[in-house]
Structure formats: structure tokens, C-alpha cells
A = this chain, B = another copy of it.
């Protein structure tokens, strides 16, 4: 791909860039005359026609039908993203919107995530997805048992991403608050820096040995925590701006948009699809174009996603989903900026603890 960036003639690149830019902003197939008129390349439309025919042969452009202009193919977009796309800095108002909206809500992580999804959707004019931090694999910063009443105890887990998870545990017989306090201290000592997922096994055995007076209570507690975290995974998904997709011309025919929207509405599918991106590491956005997507439903979409995290560790992902004609330049900057900003906010939340 990169090699081609070197080998393709400059004029061809310019034409491919012009076609892509124009199509991104107008959603209309673009003809040779338009290119010659709007983008001063100093050559006539006939020349451009020839080049466009070449570009089509090479698979960068395609024609919806013979007497229409050209539109970029997935391969064309890929080349555009890798080699042609202009660097786009966010404008003042955009940055301001992000800052304002996120700062206002940063007191509580759920609100922050929700606000992030909303702002991202608004600014990109597409659907947005945010995967919030999970509790399963996150590093435990604090774990505590709080006596609620004579027959229930609140189990509290605070992770390094600032996520506070709680579960209420019914108990048979009243427990001394001091015992709970002791257990909390012990649990903290053993589990801080570890994760719930890694907890089973060695650590669990040690804890039970230390606190074997309360073994059955603890067993129950861990089961509750683990089962709860399993089921609450889809609660990590926040989707916003679905309707904006319907505003895009390519989705005017409902039947084209339907499968995509249904996919995005199903939290668990979205979660599994996007959680793969976590492995790619922090910093930078990843673009997946049309047919590059694994899932059938997304074959007519592009996805721009970026993981965010704390302490160099990925805890979640944000993403924008739009037609392949999406404004890659803008959306990439946007997603990168917001992932960074989210990481920053989490770091600040974390350091406050």
C-alpha cells in the first residue's frame, strides 16, 4: 500500500484526492469536468478522463453506472487515508465543545462516558460508540465491604479507571462491622493491583486460608462479583447519534441502513466487534473501510476507532461509524483527540484517588 504511494504519479494522486474530497463533501459521483473546473490541476477534462479510467482499472475508483461520475472504491479510500488525506487540526469551537461538555460531566464516570459519546456523535455527524471501562480485567485500586443492614453487605470495587462497581450481597446472619473492616483490609492488601479476572486461583486460595472463618461468605461474594461483571459487560456500551446515519444520503433507502442500525443497537455485538481494537495499543486512530470490516453489516460503513486508557493500559474504546464516504480527515482527528482527552480525564480522576 505504502509502496504504491511512492509509485503513483503525482497527478494521479491529485486526481484521486480531488475525487475523494469532492465525493466526501457532496455525496455525488464526480465527473471529469467537475475536477477540471473546481480543482485547478491545469489540465483539461479529457486528460482527467484518461487518468480516471486508469484509476478505475487499478481499482481505486468505480462507476455506479456508465454515465455517472466516479466514486472512490474501498481501495481508493484506503489509499486516501494512508497517503493523501490532509492533516486537519480541530477548530477552536470544536475543541471548546469537547472540553466544555466533558469537563462538565467528569465528576462521575458513567456521565463522562455518555457525554463523550454524545459529543463525538454531534461533531462527527455520524453514529458514535463508546465502550466504557470494564471491571473484569481492570486493576483493582480499592475493595471494601460496607455493612448496609443486618442482612446485607455492599461490596465495593474501585478500579484504576475510576470505575466504581457495587453489588449488594444478602447474608444469612449479621456480621460484625469490625470483621467486615478486617476483611476489607485483607482483601485490599491481597487484591490491590490485581484484577477480578486474575483473582481466581492462587490469590483466592490464599485469601480463603487467611480468612477461613469467613470462607463461605467470601466464596459467595466472589461468585456474585464475577457473575455480575459478566452480565454487566453490555452495560459498558454507549451508542449515540444513530439517527444521524439516516441523514446521510447513502442511507436514504431505509433498507440499506436497517442492518447497520440494528447491529449498532445490539450492545453485545458492538462490544465484541470493537473490543478487538483494544489490542492495538494506545495512541492514534484506526480506520476500517467498508469491506475491510469483518462483520457483514458494516460492509458499507467505515469505522474510525481509538482505544483510551490509563497508565498505558487500554480500558476502553471510542469509535465513529459512518458511511464509507465519511470525512476521514475530520473524524480521525476528532477520535484521536477525544481518546486522548478521555485518557487525560481518567488519569486525573485516578490521581485524585
Contact = CB atoms under 8 A, between A and B. Distances in A.
Interface of A: 104-105, 107-108, 110-111, 114, 142, 144, 146, 148-149, 151-152, 154, 156, 158, 162, 164, 166-168, 170, 224, 227-228, 231-232, 234-235, 240-243, 246, 252, 254, 258, 261-262, 265, 349, 352-353
Given A108-B231, A110-B235, 6 more contacts: A104-B231, A107-B167, A107-B228, A148-B353, A154-B156, A254-B254
Contact of A144 (B110, B146, B152, B168): B146
A242 to B, nearest CB: 6
A261 B243 contact: yes
10 contacts: A107-B227, A108-B167, A108-B228, A111-B235, A152-B352, A156-B166, A162-B168, A240-B265, A241-B265, A243-B261
Contacts of A110: 232, 235
A243 to B, nearest CB: 5
A158 B168 CA distance: 10
Contacts of A352: 151-152, 168, 170
A107 B227 CA distance: 9
A352 B169 CA distance: 9
Contacts of A265: 240-243
Nearest to A152: B353
Contact of A142 (B142, B149, B162): B149
A243 B232 CA distance: 23
A249 B101 CA distance: 38
Contacts of A151: 352-353
A234 to B, nearest CB: 8
A349 B235 CA distance: 20
